[in-house]
Amino acid sequence: MRSALVAALIGLATGACNGGGSECGPTSGTVSRVIDGDTIELESGDTIRYLMVDTPENTSSVECYGPEATTFNAELVEGKDVELEYDEECTDRYDRLLAWVSVEGREVNSLLVERGFGCVLFIPPNGADREDEFDALEETARAESRGLWGACPENPC
């Protein structure tokens, strides 16, 4: 219990020292560039990879519904202020920050899955408390042939 309290206090102190950020990184920022359907770059230079969602590729190769996912993401966040929340692990193997991203009160991660622009990508421990929620969003999108589920001849995920 005492170590958890000390860790929480260190986290608060770290956040207070880096301009309102968390232990992982900034808690808000302006999106300067949309890299693809599930990755953005902030004006600060930080690259953010959305948690719990994987969209078809549109950078190194173009997969079915990749351009549509990138366009949808750009329409939601490009040039806008976003809020960031982190889970247990801060970064992935590419050193991108892993976050829940919200814009104008809407969470982008879940919107991408709900509207069929991406599939659930659960990499524990992040998202463990929301896995069922995201699975249900994907199941509904599949059942209703939303987005990639109606457009792509093969499962792109």
pLDDT digits (tens, 9 = 90+) for 118-143: 999 999 999 999 999 999 999 999 99
CATH number of the domain to which 146 belongs: 2.40.50.90
Quick check: bond before 26 cis, omega within 30? no
Asked whether residue 101 is assigned to any structural domain, the reply reads yes
Asked whether residue 20 is assigned to any structural domain, the reply reads no
- The residues assigned a catalytic role are 49, 57, 96
- pTM (2 d.p.): 0.85
Asked whether residue 40 is assigned to any structural domain, the reply reads yes
Asked whether residue 73 is assigned to any structural domain, the reply reads yes
**Which residue(s) pair with 47 in the sheet?**
41
104, 111 contact by CB (below 8 A)? no
pLDDT digits (tens, 9 = 90+) for 14-53: 333 333 578 999 999 999 999 999 999 999 999 999 999 9
Q: What is the mean pLDDT of the chain?
A: 88
Looking at the structure of the chain, the number of domains it has is: 1
Nearest CA-CA partner of 138 in 108, 113, 107: 113
What is the predicted pLDDT for the residue at 1?
Answer: 36
Q: How far apart are CA 83 and CA 42, in angstroms?
A: 11
Asked whether residue 13 is assigned to any structural domain, the reply reads no
Q: How far apart are CA 35 and CA 70, in angstroms?
A: 8
Residue numbers of the domain that contains 86: 26-151
